[in-house]
Structure 1
Amino acid sequence: MYNVLVADDHAVVRSGLSYLVNQQPNFKVVDEEANGTATYLRVEQGGIDILIMDLSMPPGESGLITTQRIHERFPKVRILILSMHEEQEYINKAIHNGAMSYIMKSSSDDELLKALKSLANGENYIDANIIMTKTDVQEINSDGVDVDLKGYNGLSKREREVFPLIALGYSNKEIAAKLFISTKTVEAHKANIMHKLALKTRADLIRYAIHHELIDF
């Protein structure tokens, strides 16, 4: 039995996906989440084999970043992106960042089910409606390190969790409650983030996050 986590910011989509997945033998939806931060924290708790996740779940961390963080820390979790984004740039980045499958929301249920079965067999699956060129494959297999993101990539795991919450305006107390840490620890992480990214104010941090597409509003 494969334990599945469904992540989408729309409750009706989560409900529909959960119903569809639970109808399939050997697959069971064990939890649902509505944003990137909560999704990462749930995966961190363990017991997830397959993650079906949207790329845009505002307000919060970009799904591309969540995909990368989960893949880096929990490589055994098989990630299936289900998104309305049909732009090749999103598809390439998602796969480069660790997604094993990319399905468009405009596709039929059959595409999602084919992807699930492929992931269960440890195989990648790209929506049949997506055409991959040699250039796309090269982009996916490239180092893909954005020079401008070297500072962000240098943040610790916990600092990357704190970062989008700061950008979205959560107070230290609210961040501490969400991440189950003390407010002093939050303050320390904030100071480290600002120092590593050479930022002076929260406004600078918000501009940085928006410019590099690290969060969705």
Structure 2
Amino acid sequence: MYKVLIADDHAIVRSGLSFLVNQQANFEVVDEEANGTDTYLRVEQGGIDILIMDLSMPPGESGLITTKRIHEHYPDVRILILSMHEEQEYINKAIHNGAMSYVLKSSSDEELLKALKSLSNGENYIDQNIKITKNDIQQINSDGVDVDLEGYNGLSKREKEIFPLIALGYSNKEIASQMFISTKTVEAHKASIIKKLELDSRTDLVRYAIHHHLIEF
């Protein structure tokens, strides 16, 4: 039985997906999340085989970044992106960041089911309505896609979890409560993030996050 996590910022979408997936043999939805930060934290807890995730789940971390972090730290979790974004840039970046499958929300349920079956067999699946060119493959395989994020990529796993919460204006107390750490630890991480990114203030951090599409409002 494949344990499935569904991540989407719309409750009605999560409910519909859960109903569809639970009707399939060998698949069971074990949890749902509404944003990138909570999705990563749930994967961190374990017991997830397949993640069906939207790319846009404001406010919070960009789904592209969540995909990258999960793939880097939990490569056994098979990621299926289900998104309204049909732009090739999003598709290429999602696959480059570790997604095994990309399905459009405008497609039929059958496309999602084909993707799930492929993932259960350890195979990649791209929506039949998406055309991948040789140039797209070069972008997907390029090591230079994330060159502008060198500073961000140098942050620790915990710092990357805290980063979007700081950028979105959460207080140290709120972050500490959500991450189950002390406010002093939050302050230390915040100082470390600003130093590593060579920024001067939280305002600069917000500008950095927006410029590099690391968060969504």
Asked if Structure 1 and Structure 2 have the same fold, meaning a TM-score greater than 0.5 normalized by the shorter chain, the answer is yes
1:177 partnered with 2:177:
yes
Per the alignment, residue 66 of structure 1 pairs with 66
Q: Distance in 1 between matches of 2:67 and 2:144?
A: 14
Alpha-carbon distance between aligned partners in 1 of 2:176 and 2:207, rounded to the nearest angstrom:
23
Q: How many Å separate the matches in 1 of 2:158 and 2:86?
A: 31
Q: Alignment RMSD, CA only?
A: 0.6
Q: Which residue of 2 aligns with 1:196?
A: 196
What's the offset of the Cα at 1:146? Answer: 3.1
Please tell me the residue identity of whatever aligns with 2:98. Answer: G
Structure 2 counterpart of 1:13:
13
What letter is aligned with 1:42? R
Q: How many residues were matched structurally?
A: 217
Letter in 1 for 2:68: Q
Deviations 1:44-88 (A, max 9, x none): 000000000000000000000000000000000000000000000
> TM-score normalized by structure 1?
0.99
What does 1:1-217 align with in structure 2 at a 5 Å threshold? 1-217=1-217
Letter of the aligned partner of 1:80 in structure 2? L
Question: In structure 2, do the counterparts of structure 1 residues 145 and 135 end up closer, same or farther at CA, with 3 Å as the change threshold?
Answer: closer
Q: Distance in 1 between matches of 2:148 and 2:87?
A: 22
Does structure 1 retain, via aligned residues, the 8 Å contact 2:139–2:145? Answer: no
CA distance in 2, matches of 1:79, 1:181: 28
In structure 2, what is the Cα distance between the partners aligned to 1:144 and 1:17? 35
Deviation at 1:202, TM superposition (A): 1.0
Q: Provide structure 2 residue ranges, at least 5 long, that are not aligned to the other structure.
A: none
**Separation in structure 2 between the aligned mates of residue 105 and residue 147 of structure 1, nearest angstrom:** 30
Offset, 1:147 = 3.0
Worse-matched range after superposition: 141-150 or 35-44: 141-150
Percent of aligned pairs sharing the same letter:
83
The alpha carbon displacement at 1:145 in A equals: 4.2
For 1:209 and 1:5, how far apart are their aligned partners in 2? Answer: 26
- Report the residue type matching 2:69 in the other structure: R
Give the letter for the 1:41 counterpart: L
CA distance in 2, matches of 1:66, 1:146: 14
> Which consecutive unaligned segments of at least 5 residues does structure 1 have?
none
